[in-house]
Structure 1
Amino acid sequence: MKIAARFELWERLRQARLVTGDLLSAPSSTWYIRAMLGFAGWIGAWFILGFVGTSFAMVMRSAGAASFAAILCCGGAYAIFRLPSKGDFAGQFGLAVGLAGQALFAVAIFKELSPSISLGCFIFFCVEALLTVLMPNFMHRIFTTVAAVAALFYASVQAGLHGVVLSIVAAACAVVWRGEMRLAARAELWQPVGYGLALGVLQLAAYSAAGEAMLSGLHHGEADWLQRHGNDVGTALVAVIFLAVTVQILKELDIEVSGKEGIAIVSCMALIMAASFPTHGLAAAALILILGFAGGNRVLFGLGLMAVASFLSHYYYQMRETLLIKSMILAATGTLLLVARWGLLRLIPAKGGRQDA
C-alpha cells in the first residue's frame, strides 16, 4: 500500500473512532516477527520452569506454592506488558514469564484435583479465559486461547461432548472473523483471540482425525454412543457451520440464496462437505480456509490451505485400503471437483460475458 493511501485509510479509521493517535504510532511488528517472539517466549518459559523446578523443588511439589508462584509470574508479566515503552526483549521476557505462570497454574490445579481430571481441566479453562482478557499482549492471548480450547476439550471428553466442543469452537471462530468490522474497536483483543480459536479448531480437528483410540485413555468405564461417535457428530456440526458461513458470504455479495446462483453454490459446497465427511478434520480446515479467503486474511487463508493439505495427506496415508482403492478415491474426488467447477461456470458466467471452459 502506498504511503498516501495508508494515511488516507488511517484518517478514515480515526474518523470512525476505530483507531486513535497518529499513523506513526501504530504497531509496526509484522505477524512473522510476533510468531518468532512467541516461539522464543515458549522456549524461555521452559527454561524458567526448569530453573524453578531445580532450584525451588517445593514449588513443584505443593499446590499452594505453585499457585503463589503462578500469581507472581502472571502479575510480573502483566506489569511488563503495561510498561509505557518496551522493546522486543521486554515483550519476549514478559511472554516467557506469563507462559511459565500458566504452566504453574496447571501444576497447582492438577495437584489439588488429581482424581478429577475433568474438573481440573474446566478450572484451567476458566483461568486461561481470564488471562486472555486481562493480559494485553498479542502472542500471550493466542497461547491462552489455544490452551483454553484444549482444556475445555479434555474437560468434555468424559461426557462424550468432545465433538460438540469442536463445533462450539468452530462457531466462535466464525463469529469472530465474520464480525471483524463490528469488533474492530477491540481489535487488540479479538484479533489474537480469532487466531487462537482458528488454531484451536485445527487442534481439535487433529484429535478427531487421530480417531477414538487417542481419547480412549481418558474414558472411564464403558463408552456410550456419544463418546463412540463424538468425532462424527463434531464433523457433521462443523459442516453445518461451514454451510452457514457460505450462506452469509453470499448474502454479503448480494447473491440470492434461493436464486439459481445461490442454489448452485450452496449445493456444491454441501456436496464437498458430504464427500469430505470420512476425512475427519477436513471440514474444519475448509472452514478456516473460507474464513481467510472471505476476509482477505492471508495468514488465516494460508493456515487453512496448509491444514487442508495436511488432513488430506493424513487420510491418504492412514487408509488401510490398497493403493488401487486409494487411487480410485483420489480420481473420483478430482472428477467431482472438476464437474462442480464446470457446472458453476455454466450457471454463473464470468464477468464481461466470457465463460471459461
Structure 2
Amino acid sequence: MPSQPELWQILRSAKLVEGDEPRDNEPHWANRFMLGVVGWLAALFLLFFLFLSVGDVIDSPDHALALGATLLAMALLLNRSARSGDLWDQFVLALTLAADAWLLYGLIDRMDVHAVGAWAGLSGLAFAIAFCFEHWLIRLFHTLVAALLLTLALACLGLQILALPLVMGLLCACWLWAQRRPHQHERFEAMAFGLALSLILLGRLHQPLFDETNVLEELGQSRLPHWLNPLLCAALLLALLHHLKLPRRQGLFALPLVLLAALIPGMGAGALVLLLGFYAGSLGMMTLAALLLLGFGSLYYYDLALPLMTKSWLLLGSGTALLLVRTLLLRLGRHS
C-alpha cells in the first residue's frame, strides 16, 4: 500500500489533484487533552465563584431554578456563538451539567412523583436541550435521560409496557433520518445513540429491577399484560424490515430475529439495533446490539424456572442449532 506522499504523487500524475500535498493541521491529542482540561477548570472556577457569590441565595428552590436556567442559557449562547474547539466544547459541557444539577435541585422538592405532566415536561425539556445544542455528548446524554423520563411518565399512566416499543420507534426515526439527511447526520446520530443506550435499561423494566422491587410498579400499576411488550417489539422489527426493503433472501434470514423478539422480552431491542447497525455500517451500533442481545439473553436464561440440567440441555441444543444455521447460510452464500 503506497504511503500518503506516494499516493499524492500518483493522483498528481493522473491529473486528479493539483498543487502541494495538504498538511494535517489537526492538533496533537495531548494538546487537545490539555485544552479540554483547561475548559473544565475554567468552568469549575466560574461555578465556584457563583457558589461563593450567591451560595446563600440558591438554597431556595426558586433561586436554584433561576440559576440553572441562567447557566443553561449561557451554555447555549456559547455553544451557538463561540468558535468550535476542545476548550469551548468542554467548557459548555461542564456548564450544561451544572445547569442540570441546579435545575434538578430546584425541582426535586416540589415535584409530585405521581404527576404525569411533570415527568412528561422534563422529558420534553431534555429532548429540546438535546436538539438545540451543537455538542455530541450533550445530545447523547440528554436523549438518554429524556427516554428514561418518558418511561416514568408512562408508568404514572400504567402504560410502562409501551415504553420499550416507543423508544425503539424513536430510535428508528432518528437513525433513518440521520442517514437520509447528511447535513443533520451528526445531530440525529447522537440522539439515536442516546436512545440505543437507554434500551439497555428499558428492556427489563417490565420485570423487577432490584430483587422484588419494581420502580415502575410503584409509580402506577400496569394496565397492560406483560406479554404485549415482546409482541409490539416484534411487530416494530417486522415493520422496519418491510421499510428497509431488504432483498428477499436477506429478509428471510432476518425472520428468526422477529420470532426471537416475540418470545424473549428485550431481544427485540437488540435485534432492531443490530439491523440498523448493519444497514448503516455502524460499528458502534453493532457493538451496542451485541451488548443488548447478550444481556437480555442472559437475563432470560437466568429467569427461567428450570433445573440446571434442563438449562444445560437448552444451551447445548441452542449451540447446535446455531451451528446448523451457520452451515446453511454458508452453503446458500456459495450458491448465490
Change (3 A) 1:336 1:209: farther
Change (3 A) 1:161 1:193: same
Contact 1:163 1:235 in 2 (8 A): no
Partner of 1:239: 234
User: Displacement, 1:118?
Assistant: 2.7
SS, match of residue 82 in structure 1? helix
User: Displacement, 1:48?
Assistant: 5.9
Contact 2:150 2:163 in 1 (8 A): yes
SS, match of residue 70 in structure 2? helix
Following the alignment from structure 1 to structure 2, what is the Cα–Cα distance between the partners of residues 57 and 322? 61
1:309-351: per-residue Cα shift (whole Å, max 9, x none)?
A: 22223333444533212212222333343444455556xx225
Change (3 A) 1:344 1:287: same
User: Displacement, 1:297?
Assistant: 0.3
Contact 2:155 2:217 in 1 (8 A): no
Change (3 A) 1:201 1:26: farther
Partner of 2:282: 297
Q: Which amino acid aligns with 1:167?
A: P
Q: Which amino acid aligns with 1:213?
A: T
User: Displacement, 1:207?
Assistant: 2.7
SS, match of residue 192 in structure 2? helix
Q: Which amino acid aligns with 1:214?
A: N
Partner of 2:319: 334
Following the alignment from structure 2 to structure 1, what is the Cα–Cα distance between the partners of residues 137 and 23? 22
Contact 1:109 1:124 in 2 (8 A): no
Identical residues among aligned pairs (%): 22
Partner of 2:55: 56
Partner of 1:109: 107
User: Displacement, 1:269?
Assistant: 3.1
Partner of 1:157: 155
Partner of 1:20: none
SS, match of residue 136 in structure 1? coil
User: Displacement, 1:157?
Assistant: 0.5
Number of residues paired by the alignment?
Answer: 309
Q: TM-score, normalised by structure 1?
A: 0.72
- The aligned runs of 1:214-253 (5 Å cut-off) are 214-215=214-215, 218-220=218-220, 223=221, 225-226=223-224, 229-230=225-226, 232-249=227-244, 251=245, 253=246
Instruction: Provide the alpha-carbon RMSD of the alignment.
Output: 3.8
User: Displacement, 1:167?
Assistant: 0.7
SS, match of residue 112 in structure 1? coil
User: Displacement, 1:75?
Assistant: 1.6
Change (3 A) 1:29 1:287: farther
Following the alignment from structure 2 to structure 1, what is the Cα–Cα distance between the partners of residues 142 and 250? 39
Following the alignment from structure 2 to structure 1, what is the Cα–Cα distance between the partners of residues 252 and 119? 44
Contact 1:247 1:266 in 2 (8 A): no
Give unmatched runs, 5+ long, in structure 2. Answer: 12-21
User: Displacement, 1:101?
Assistant: 1.2
Following the alignment from structure 1 to structure 2, what is the Cα–Cα distance between the partners of residues 195 and 215? 24
1:134-179: per-residue Cα shift (whole Å, max 9, x none)?
A: 2121110111111111111001102121221211110121122234
User: Displacement, 1:115?
Assistant: 5.8
Following the alignment from structure 1 to structure 2, what is the Cα–Cα distance between the partners of residues 29 and 205? 40
Of residues 296-305 and 207-216 in structure 1, the stretch that sits farther from structure 2 once superposed is 207-216
1:204-230: per-residue Cα shift (whole Å, max 9, x none)?
A: 11434545832355235xx3542xx34
- The aligned runs of 1:34-45 (5 Å cut-off) are none
Change (3 A) 1:176 1:134: closer
Q: Which amino acid aligns with 1:268?
A: P
SS, match of residue 91 in structure 1? helix
Q: Which amino acid aligns with 2:270?
A: A
Partner of 2:309: 324
Following the alignment from structure 1 to structure 2, what is the Cα–Cα distance between the partners of residues 128 and 268? 36
Following the alignment from structure 2 to structure 1, what is the Cα–Cα distance between the partners of residues 161 and 215? 12
Q: Which amino acid aligns with 2:256?
A: C
1:117-137: per-residue Cα shift (whole Å, max 9, x none)?
A: 432211111211221222121
User: Displacement, 1:237?
Assistant: 1.2
- The aligned runs of 1:12-161 (5 Å cut-off) are 52=51, 56=55, 58-59=57-58, 61-114=59-112, 116-161=114-159
Following the alignment from structure 2 to structure 1, what is the Cα–Cα distance between the partners of residues 208 and 53? 35
Q: TM-score, normalised by structure 2?
A: 0.76
Change (3 A) 1:218 1:100: farther
Contact 1:128 1:148 in 2 (8 A): yes
User: Displacement, 1:282?
Assistant: 2.1
Residue 296 of structure 2 is aligned to residue 311 of structure 1: yes
Following the alignment from structure 1 to structure 2, what is the Cα–Cα distance between the partners of residues 217 and 57? 38
Of residues 196-205 and 81-90 in structure 1, the stretch that sits farther from structure 2 once superposed is 81-90
Of residues 141-150 and 332-341 in structure 1, the stretch that sits farther from structure 2 once superposed is 332-341
> Which structure has the larger Rg over C-alpha atoms?
2
SS, match of residue 313 in structure 2? helix
